Amino acid sequence: MHLDVLDLRNFYYRTGLGRAVQRAVRTQMLTLWPEAPGMTVAGYGFAVPLLRPYLAQARRVIGLMPAQQGVMPWPAGLPNVSVLCEEGSWPLQTGSVDRLVLLHGLETSDHQSVVLEEAGRVLADMGRVLFIVPNRRGLWAQRDATPFGEGRTYSLGQIETLLERHEFVPERHLAALYAPPAQRGFWLRTADYWERLGRRVSSQLAGGVLMVEATKQLNPAPRPGLRVAERRPLRVLEGLPVPDARPV
């Protein structure tokens, strides 16, 4: 079940912990995609806190928010680029997105396959998508006080297998949120230190979220159960005399 957009807004923009999450996850994202000049960048779920670095350089930035979650205008003080959409019907042309980020859009959905199919549809052939999901082994998935305590959790193997089943190719992975999900001043003041330390120690075990970059599988193999059409089908009556056709 999707989270409410007001709860997400309040967490990310009105709490110290939410702002620390923004910094940690955005820093890791920028190690993968430092720039996006002239590209179309989109985010699905509640990915808008991560998209701000691309506003000045991308050709277009779009924030897609599912109807079950609700929508809010974004960015503040600038023309709105966020839009409400259905999980299986994004208002984007096929193959039009160069960079796509999913945050709080996959693990809370009741129709994962539909979301993944739409992500694959809108992604350009040479485009890249970043899936950010709660780490099953991390502390953040155990705390209901943050958005990462809702919905499904994943191990690295589980999320990569899910993506491969939907014709994505996992390319690189990172993790973030090594500091504990605590609102106390000490942990907030030292959050950046714990992020730097965590990135040196582990790329997946201790982080609160997993970040998997993937591309589209351009020539997917036929799925099990699908029949390949015979180029020269056999004729049932081949070899038998066929009566001359007469006009009616």
Q: How far is Cα 39 from Cα 31, in angstroms, rounded to an integer?
A: 17
User: Is the separation of the CB atoms in 108 and 3 below 8 Å?
Assistant: yes
Top pLDDT among 226 and 152 is at 152
Q: Give me the percent of the chain exceeding a pLDDT of 90.
A: 71
Q: Which domains occur in the chain, in start order?
A: 5-216 (3.40.50.150)
Least confident of 49-53, 115-119, 144-148, 171-175: 144-148
Mean per-residue pLDDT for 102-123? 96
Report the pLDDT value the prediction gives residue 248, as an integer from 0 to 100: 37
**Taking the model in full, what pTM does it have?**
0.86
DSSP state of 25: H
Three-state DSSP class for 151? Answer: coil
DSSP state of 149: G
pLDDT tens for 14-29 read 999 999 999 999 999 9
pLDDT tens for 47-81 read 999 999 999 999 999 999 999 999 999 999 999 99
Joined together, the tokens standing for residue 237 give 């009556």
pLDDT tens for 123-139 read 999 999 999 999 998 88
Q: Is the pLDDT of residue 189 over 60?
A: yes
